[in-house]
């Protein structure tokens, strides 16, 4: 196994410096919040019955996280649409936020066009491209940012732009104190998980070593359900590793029955349980009961708890921890965490077939 305490391995494998994006996460959150406070928002945007995020991949995950975060506060529903077409219930009382790093995501452009035709209240988040052109032509609220990275590494922008906008429209309350706490905890986390911190004191490096050469399963519940999905996609894209996610308590009604066969699979699998003190007591009891099932079938697992008082601080700190773990697993796998060659090849094939 590659020695994660050898700083030379990061120069060898992290050719596009993904570590800089991880270490810069707290400051990017601060910058994105500040920029989002400056967006011009029509007063009519506050008078809506639902919020919908349009996006794919790394540009959509912020919407997933926020929809869970505000579930017990917002009086209107928030959903994420990853399709070319809009659901039939979208109308002119819907607030649509089209999010695409490149500005050329075809599913997002298609759905935004339909939303504009319906008369929905629309906003764009992008670095440019066709989406920015549409926003400028239609005089839509526009959040732009100039940051050279893979879309999954720009989560602070897509997350904070949406979160701040919801606050300004009165859909959620004042989150300034939560933002301050979150950035402080994120800064502490970057110091603790940096490549210069040895394995013996680095939680992310330790977890990556456990996950090396394993099929990874991430279990979450309530506030950690969407975070589990983010971990899954980061293991896929950063680590180039098999990974899947599940949620309590649904997994207790089906998944646990499937632990029996093939029996030898348990030797190559590792389950991570993402836990929070904000999760309800009945669900936390299911965590304990499920771990006893793991013991019965010799399934290896780890429980990861979260720091922070606010739900926001807990959510983003756990997101960032997962990013670090997937980064170190990429190094152990001997791959550059940044490129996504399989996705690029797939897009090329799709364009070729369309041509």
Q: Could you give the count of Cα atoms lying within 13 Å of 223 in the half-sphere of its Cβ?
A: 22
Kindly report the CATH number assigned to the domain that includes residue 123: 3.40.50.10490
101: left (phi over 0), alpha (psi -120 to 50) or beta: alpha
| 152 located within any domain | yes
Give the per-residue pLDDT at 346.
78
Give the per-residue pLDDT at 29.
98
**303 and 201: one domain?**
yes
| 348 located within any domain | no
Give the per-residue pLDDT at 349.
74
**68 and 140: one domain?**
yes
pLDDT higher than 90, residue 156: yes
**165 and 218: one domain?**
no
DSSP β-bridge partners for residue 219: 246, 273
Render pLDDT for 76-120 as a digit per residue (tens, 0 to 9): 999 999 999 999 999 999 999 999 999 999 999 999 999 999 999
What is the arithmetic mean of pLDDT over 319-336? 98
**319 and 230: one domain?**
yes
- As a whole number, the mean pLDDT across the chain is 96
Domain boundary among 174, 207, 229: 174
Identify the band that residue 294 occupies on the pLDDT scale cut at 50, 70 and 90: very high
Give the per-residue pLDDT at 343.
79
Tell me, yes or no, if 130 is annotated catalytic.
no
**230 and 104: one domain?**
no
| 36 located within any domain | yes
**74 and 214: one domain?**
no
- In this structure, of 226-230, 321-325, 349-353, the range with the lowest mean pLDDT score is 349-353
- Whole-angstrom distance, CA of residue 236 vs CA of residue 111: 26
What is the number of domains present in the chain?
Answer: 2
| 351 located within any domain | no
Tell me, yes or no, if 348 is annotated catalytic.
no
HEC assignment per residue over the chain: CCCCCCCHHHHHHCCCCHHHHHHCHHHHHHHHHHHHCCCCCCHHHHCCCEEEEECCHHHCHHHHHHHHHCCCCCCCCEEEECCCCCCCCCCCCEEEEEEECCCCCHHHHHHHHHHHHHCCEEEEEECCHHHHHHHHHHCCCEEECCCCCCHHHHHHHHHHHHHHHHHHCCCCCCCHHHHHHHHHHHHHHHHHHCCCCCHHHCHHHHHHHHHCCCEEEEEECHHHHHHHHHHHHHHHHCCCCCEEEEECCHHHHCHHHHHCCCHHHHHHEEEEEECCCCCCHHHHHHHHHHHHHHHHCCCEEEEECCCCCCHHHHHHHHHHHHHHHHHHHHHHCCCCCCCCHHHHHHHHHHHHHHC
DSSP β-bridge partners for residue 123: 97
What is the arithmetic mean of pLDDT over 137-142? 98
**261 and 204: one domain?**
yes
**231 and 162: one domain?**
no
Identify the band that residue 242 occupies on the pLDDT scale cut at 50, 70 and 90: very high
Give the per-residue pLDDT at 306.
86
Indicate which residue of 181, 222, 226, 237 is catalytic.
Answer: 237
pLDDT higher than 80, residue 5: yes
Indicate which residue of 253, 264, 281, 352 is catalytic.
Answer: 253
Tell me, yes or no, if 253 is annotated catalytic.
yes
Give the per-residue pLDDT at 212.
98
- Whole-angstrom distance, CA of residue 54 vs CA of residue 101: 12
Percent of the chain whose pLDDT exceeds 70: 99
What is the arithmetic mean of pLDDT over 294-320? 96
| 205 located within any domain | yes
- Whole-angstrom distance, CA of residue 243 vs CA of residue 134: 37
Give the per-residue pLDDT at 241.
98
Give the per-residue pLDDT at 330.
98
| 188 located within any domain | no
**198 and 138: one domain?**
no
**215 and 166: one domain?**
no
| 2 located within any domain | no
Q: Residue 74, exposed/middle/buried by CB under 10 A (0-12, 13-18, 19+)?
A: middle
Q: Which range of residues forms the domain containing residue 261?
A: 8-15+193-332
**311 and 201: one domain?**
yes
pTM of the predicted model, to two decimals?
0.95
| 219 located within any domain | yes
**168 and 30: one domain?**
yes
Indicate which residue of 201, 345, 347, 348 is catalytic.
Answer: 347
pLDDT higher than 70, residue 355: no
pLDDT higher than 90, residue 187: yes
Give the per-residue pLDDT at 348.
65
pLDDT higher than 80, residue 227: yes
Domain boundary among 174, 209, 227: 174
Domain boundary among 117, 147, 174: 174
């Amino acid at each position: 196994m590659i020695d994660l305490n050898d700083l030379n391995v990061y120069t060898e494998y992290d050719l596009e410096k993904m570590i800089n994006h991880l270490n810069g996460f707290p400051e990017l959150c601060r910058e994105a919040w500040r920029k989002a406070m400056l967006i011009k928002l029509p007063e009519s945007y506050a008078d809506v019955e639902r919020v919908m995020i349009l996006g794919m991949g790394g540009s959509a995950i912020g919407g997933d996280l926020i929809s869970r975060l505000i579930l017990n506060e917002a009086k209107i529903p928030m959903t994420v649409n990853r399709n070319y077409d809009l659901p039939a219930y979208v109308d002119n009382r819907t607030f649509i936020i089209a999010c695409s790093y490149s500005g050329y995501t075809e599913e997002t452009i298609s759905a935004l066009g339909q939303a504009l035709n319906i008369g929905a209240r629309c906003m764009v988040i992008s670095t440019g491209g066709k989406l920015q052109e549409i926003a400028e032509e239609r005089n839509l609220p526009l959040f732009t940012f100039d940051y050279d990275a893979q879309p999954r590494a720009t989560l602070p922008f897509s997350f904070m732009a949406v979160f701040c906008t919801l606050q300004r429209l009165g859909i959620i309350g004042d989150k300034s104190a939560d933002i301050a706490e979150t950035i402080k905890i994120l800064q502490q986390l970057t110091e603790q998980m940096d490549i210069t911190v040895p394995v013996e004191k680095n939680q992310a490096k330790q977890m990556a070593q456990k996950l090396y050469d394993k099929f990874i399963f991430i279990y979450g519940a309530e506030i950690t359900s969407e975070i589990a999905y983010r971990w899954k996609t980061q293991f896929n894209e950063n680590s180039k590793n098999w990974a899947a996610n599940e949620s309590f308590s649904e997994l207790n009604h089906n998944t646990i029955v499937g632990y029996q066969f093939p029996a030898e699979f348990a030797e190559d699998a590792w389950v991570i349980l993402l836990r929070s003190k904000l999760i309800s007591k009945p669900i936390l009891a299911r965590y304990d009961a499920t771990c006893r099932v793991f013991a019965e079938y010799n399934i290896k697992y780890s429980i990861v708890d979260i720091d922070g008082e606010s739900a926001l601080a807990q959510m983003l700190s756990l997101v960032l921890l997962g990013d670090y773990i997937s980064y170190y697993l990429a190094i152990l796998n001997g791959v550059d965490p940044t490129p996504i060659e399989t996705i690029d090849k797939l897009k090329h094939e799709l364009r070729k077939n369309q041509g």
